[in-house]
Chains A and B, each alone.
Chain A
Amino acid sequence: MEIFLLVFVFVIASLLGFELINKVPPTLHTPLMSGSNAISGITIVGAIICARSGEGFFAQTIAFLAIVFAMINVVGGYVVTDRMLASFKKKAK
């Protein structure tokens, strides 16, 4: 049943994604790409779950790298997107 729920959630979320982003003005193609790129760093949650104490050195190293990579994606992605959007904002004033 739990498996079914996860699959269920995945399918509905995919459909939601299509509905959510069906119309994007070309001006926002880059920010959307880099913004959603930052969001894909959500895997940080998985990485933290895997960083358990009492595990072997190998497992901890992999978890550490997973956290580092995910954070590079998250922080880098958001900062870049903000930089882009800031150049849009100036104009709106």
Chain B
Amino acid sequence: MGYYYLYLLATLLFVFGIKRLTNIRTCQQGNRLSEVAMAIAILAVLLITAGISWLVVIAGILVGSAIGLVIAKRTPTTQMPEMVAALNGFGGASSALVAMAYLLIDPLIKLDGTSLADTGIVNAISTPATVIIGMVTLTGSFVAYFKLSGKKVAHPLKGVQRHYLHGGLGLFAIGMGTWMVLTGNHTGMTIAVILLAIVSAALGVFLVMPIGGADMPVVVSLLNSYSGVAGAAAGFVIGNPLLIVVGALVGTSGLILTQIMCKAMNRSLGNVLLGGMGEESVAKDAKDYKSIKSTSPEECAMLLEGASSVIFVPGYGLAVAQAQHIVRDLGDLLIKRGCNVRYAIHPVAGRMPGHMNVLLAESDVPYDQLWEMDRINSDFKSTDVVIVVGANDVVNPAAREATGPIAGMPILDVDQARTVIVIKRSLAPGYAGIKNPLFEMDNCLMVFLDAKEALEAIVKEVKELN
């Protein structure tokens, strides 16, 4: 019985760990605490559980750890968003499997003639719920993974047919869940739970498919929340308070991030989940630009030469081009000349929450140069040069109009600066698939190059001007 207090200790460490993870000074320590908590939790369950199959447990832990380690070590920083999505999927899958395994091993449920419902209302609800949420998390995360790796994953159906398909799958899942709960026949129950897992997996695929790439920060946060909820639900299945508490904590943290991301795009969660945006709605007029002024790195360098304040606006293009180091080099060069250099971070720039912050942290940009949207927006009008690196929708003034796909989304008001330099490979639209009126403005200059090439050329030119 005493070992059960290890669960309590682990729970407390998780709570403090998560708390510390939300503060920049303590975050590393926070992660360490939660790692220790996880180790204690695993130790506790090994001590407590009688009749463990050590072969299965040790082999499983070794194989899983090895795979996890390789994935985490080998993945380049650019692919971090999709890796986090994939890892999340594994957690969901594990919870679903726990619920399935429990049906097969619980001595009471195993008896023919005893249905799941006979074992109590909590089991009757939590078992199918764990399987559904866990499997949706698994396949949804992998669709997100493919989308984040830049693969086109389109929904096979359009419009209302799509809802029929999802509704149909949902009804089938409810049917299987009910059968699984009510049947006293153990073979029937096993078949039902397998079918439930399959239909939930299909549902996860179809639900994430229509969601646009730019909405991935929302989806990834939400799936993160689901994996926590799946863990908590698995906790109800096996009657374990540790899983319930920790799962609930992860569930709420994911939900809070989801809210933050939705707010940053001025869209409701429902609107994001129903999707469609950025997938089929690529406007015909997206390439229909009239007065574009393109410029060269030399000219940019000359503009920067005369600038006393510069703001960089990084976007996903910066991550793709791996230009985070060179952008800092340019920033440092300008600071040395007495220029005020800052980076304006839009909350949904990139493909996961806080993507740009991680990227710029990698190249050691000091925190005090990273400014949040709300703090920096009023400063653009007194800024000499704004350099937009691989961002598009987050600086699109079309968001200020009353209608349109991104209407009402808070944006960085870069168009108010004296000169805006946009480094972008082409005039191709961003994920929202709409034209960006910024590019046509009188104070906007385009540099049609890969972000890294362009910045390297500018750095070279600025150095030569010295």
Name A's B-contacting residues (CB within 8 A): 2-3, 5-7, 9-10, 13-14, 16-18, 20-56, 58-60, 62-92
The answer to whether A60 and B22 touch across the interface, beta carbons within 8 angstroms, is: no
Determine if B239 and A28 form an interchain contact, defined as CB atoms under 8 angstroms apart.
Answer: no
Contact A20 B31 (CB under 8 A): no
**Contacting pair A45 B105 (CB below 8 A):** no
- Judged by DSSP, the binding face of B is helix
Do the beta carbons of B239 and A2 come within 8 Å of each other? yes
The 4 A-B residue pairs with the shortest CB-CB distance in the complex, in nearest-first order: A71-B64, A67-B60, A17-B252, A29-B354
Please classify how large the interface on chain B is, using the bins under 10, 10 to 19, 20 to 34, 35 or more.
35 or more
Instruction: Flag if B245 contacts A78 (CB, 8 Å).
Output: no
Partner of B367, one of A37, A43, A54, A91: A91
Among A32, A48, A63, A77, the residue within 8 A (CB) of B22 is A32
13 inter-chain pairs at a CB distance below 8 angstroms, sorted by A residue, are A23-B22, A27-B361, A31-B358, A32-B253, A35-B31, A37-B91, A38-B38, A39-B246, A46-B94, A47-B60, A52-B105, A72-B90, A87-B364
With A35-B21, A67-B57 as contacts: A40 and B250 at CB distance below 8 Å? yes
List residues of chain B with CB under 8 Å of any chain A CB: 14-15, 17-19, 21-25, 27-28, 30-31, 34-35, 38, 41-42, 44-46, 49, 51-54, 56-57, 59-61, 63-65, 67-69, 71-73, 75, 80, 83-84, 87-88, 90-95, 97-98, 100-102, 104-105, 120-122, 220-221, 224, 227-228, 230-232, 234-254, 256-257, 260, 345, 347, 352-355, 357-358, 361-362, 364-367, 370, 372
Q: Which residues of B contact A51 (CB under 8 A)?
A: 52-53, 56-57, 60, 101
Q: Which residues of B contact A72 (CB under 8 A)?
A: 64-65, 67-68, 71, 87, 90
**Are A85 and B27 in contact, CB atoms less than 8 angstroms apart?**
yes
- Is the CB–CB distance between A6 and B60 below 8 Å? no
Find out whether the CB atom of B361 lies under 8 angstroms from the CB atom of A76. Answer: no
CB of B38 within 8 A of CB of A18, answer no
Given that A40-B91, A80-B87 are known contacts, is A59 also in contact with B260, CB under 8 Å in the complex? no
Report the nearest A residue to B30, measured CB to CB. Answer: A35
Q: A33-B257, A35-B31 are in contact. Are A13 and B68 (CB under 8 A)?
A: no
